Structure 1
Amino acid sequence: MTYSSATGTLFVVATPIGNLDDMVPRAIETLQSVNVIAAEDTRHSGRLLARFAIETPSLAYHDHSDDRRLEDLLGRLQTGENVALISDAGTPLVSDPGYRLVRAARERGFTVVPIPGPCALVAALSASGLASDRFSFEGFLPAKSGARRHALDALAREPRTLIFYEAPHRVLECLRDMQQVFGSQREAVLARELTKTFETIHSAPLAELTEFVAGDSNQQRGEIVLLVQGAPKNAGSELDSEAERIMGVLLEELPLKQAASLGAKLTGLKKNFLYQWALDKTQGH
């Protein structure tokens, strides 16, 4: 397809997440034909460009680049040059740089064209065995455990399949936090080094998956996607009879927030979970 305009076109080009043979022909053609390639890391992308004899000049661009680099690329588009945006791997903007450039290009009226291809979250979901009709991509969770648990608490009752990216040095801590928040029996999948030599796709309840990763240091290396089964539809009413009795007594004597806080100490359940359960009860859900 030919794009003709008085101004240039910004192409958002997906590149392989591991196996270079996954590079699509249209992506190669696009990178060969544009005037310049904006790459997350020009040194990292050099191997890819050399593999496919792409001699187009490249320059470094990521969302932390200063405004001068952003304006330089927009200026090139304004003068009629075509620009390709690539990240280190996968589809740009999916937990990768590029948002500022794409946003600014669209705001100024330039044509933005996606060149689809590999994406780690989609590849992981397709082979996970978890429900794929509805899912929520959450990207990277906070690095510190307290903030991470808080973010997971907010997702504890989410019925859609949850998808996360995680750094290898944090994956074990992350799984332990997930086990504490989501429960030991919630099904989860570790998808690691997708399309590469040591690709691993391992599914198990969170307690077993945590043990699997803890027992094999190789599972704590490489590019990692974590997928977690969505909460069951009746997650808001999953209290045993004793916990429900305790909450019933507390709610008769205390405001909802205080009842949830004290109930968490007495039952060992999450305060946010008990708060939502009580809120559903009081609203007649």
Structure 2
Amino acid sequence: PHISQEVALQCVEGYFAYADWTGVALSEIMAIVNVSSDVMDVVFIAADGYDSSLNLDWIDPTEIILAYAVNNETLLPEIGYPLRVVAPGQYGYKWVMWVTEIRFVTYDHIGYWESRGWMDNAQYERAERALYPLDWRVHALSLALAFYVGSLSLVSGLREPLRKKYILSLPKWMGNRFHQIMGISYSILTIGSAGIWIGRSLILKGTLNWELHGVYAVISLGGIGILMIERIIQWIYGLVNGKKDSKTVDVTNSANDINLAKEVPTIGFLQKTSNVSLILKRIHVLAGIVSVGAMILAGISGLLFF
């Protein structure tokens, strides 16, 4: 006897898809082979050697389907022909495709992804409740906001070095202070979004997800790190050289001399550190462009999952 059931395939990355699956219930196969009471796991092995398992204490065998059709059509090779495991409530890596062998074992079998740190009990409702603060939707929203404020920070920051008409024509309020506020906001949002991605990857998979989306995210974080280091170096260098210049100033009681003395440290600082400041500014601009650009690519590659 066959059964049909509409089930959502939920992937670890967050995307999902509904389909009507048709096949044989696992309970029917267990009855045919007369599975003993001491069996712990049912192991599914694919034609390409991939394997995963389901613990019988965590599932209802009547709900697990060995599907040979989807949406009333025979499975295509790219989605699992001849048989695919349909495991309602389990993450997609438990939905083994191209099943050629089923084993009933009396031990806790560790499959391909499970041996690499992914959860053995892949019930996603249970996992999502535990990971509620690390919801992928918060990650996506943070990434979208980071794209917005990062772009504003980048445009306002290029106003001075480019000196182009279309940049100089920006509103006056998009000045240095605006650039700093947007830059700090961008850094916070990007780090927060990446933190959610790192947390989910480590908890669900035991490792980081080094797909293209993750690589771009790391490049973006690297750019932010360089920006922070550049700001610290700029501040320390200016502080040290400012103090050195101030010691050489002869402050007199004359009002004109006092005003001149106040200006000398600034002028001296610019003269002595002009090359260093120029290099640091170029590093700042380049790191900002790389960081925001990589973050935009991370967002685009993330959207390809849905």
TM-score interval, normalised by the smaller of the two chains? under 0.3
The TM-score normalised by the length of structure 1 is: 0.26
With the length of structure 2 as denominator, give the TM-score of the two structures.
0.24
